Amino acid sequence: MDDAQEPHGVGKHLLGPHVVGQRVVVRRLLRGQTGPTGGPAFTDLLGTCLAWGEGRCVVQPETGPPVTIALADLVSGKPVPPRAAVHLRVTPVDAQRAAFALFPGLETEPLGSWTLRHHPHETARRANSVLAFGPAGDPLSAEEAIGSVVAWYAARGRRPIAAVLTGSPEAALLGESGWVPESTDADTLFRLAPVARARRALPRTLAAEAEVGIEGANDGEDGGLVRAWIPGPEGHLASGLLAVDGDWAGVRGMEVAAAHRGRGLALAVLATLLEVAAERGARTAYLQVLADNERALRLYDGLGFVDHHRYTYLAPPVGT
């Protein structure tokens, strides 16, 4: 029977042998069953097409065994984009909260859905700004939330700074209240990669002189921070910090002495930190880098890090 003879439209779809290996959504006829309105019964299926031919297609759902469907029972269907990796499906605010582990001793306090952050010994903006991702929410009005931010940081001798998603309503709200970019820095990129993939992408050979020192990997001091460095005659040639909290492994403070850049020293330090992350069971690595730091971006691109979200810092004008 051809399509024109099928009252339920079987065969009108965008599928074929070309979708083998792709993720697809399929609607199929359930022969011998009656639908809620008394007509034919149909069901939908989302999964990966494993095979097409000989009058059938095979679809592997995300859970359960493969499903074999007669081509004559296909009502509609089309390829769909691959499902985002697990580490990319986390929300920006949850990713940022996971990164609190990078600053042991961080003081935090909720302000509606915002989070006030302060660290007595760190100067990093990530440790001394309100995480204003999303509306502050009840019971605070926007004016009350901003006033509370200013008062909270004033009590700690800090300039009030807000971390906001670039182009977000919160950025616009603070801008309307007179807040301006905190500095001339480019936006910050929050980047993620699977630990296993990043390790596989590391070069087989690293800098010969990269004998990496490490501390904090096993003793649990510093709130779990791990330090890795390459010593030099006048200080560290390269260094970095790692925090592991459950599935998450965060890297910060990656530095290479200016006279020793381009020799693979950063990769050697990062390789050591990723090894520790893997040993501790972390599967998702994250880091944050300025959007105009081309050297660092090339390094991280090569290891499979991708952008998760972009944010910037706002503050009241100096003197207000």
pLDDT in single tens digits along all 320 residues of the chain:
343 334 344 445 688 999 898 889 999 999 889 877 888 889 999 988 999 999 999 998 877 888 999 999 998 899 988 766 666 778 999 999 999 999 999 999 999 999 999 999 999 999 999 999 998 877 788 899 999 999 999 999 999 999 999 999 999 999 999 999 999 999 999 999 999 889 988 886 565 455 777 887 544 444 579 999 888 887 788 899 999 998 899 999 999 888 888 888 889 999 999 999 999 999 999 999 999 999 999 999 999 999 999 999 999 998 76
- Give the whole-angstrom CA distance, residue 182 versus residue 161: 7
pTM score of the predicted model: 0.73
C-alpha of 239 from chain center:
23
Tell which residue, 28, 16, 17, has the closest CA to residue 61.
28
- Give the whole-angstrom CA distance, residue 107 versus residue 117: 6
Say what the pLDDT of residue 205 is: 59
- The two structure tokens encoding residue 210: 């990269």
CA dihedral angle for residue 84, residue 292, residue 172, residue 96, rounded to 10 degrees: 50
Identify the DSSP state of 84.
Answer: P
Query: Please, is 278 exposed, middle or buried when counting C-beta atoms within 10 Å of its C-beta (0-12, 13-18, 19+)?
Result: middle
Say what the pLDDT of residue 220 is: 46
Amino acid type, 123: T
Say what the pLDDT of residue 180 is: 97
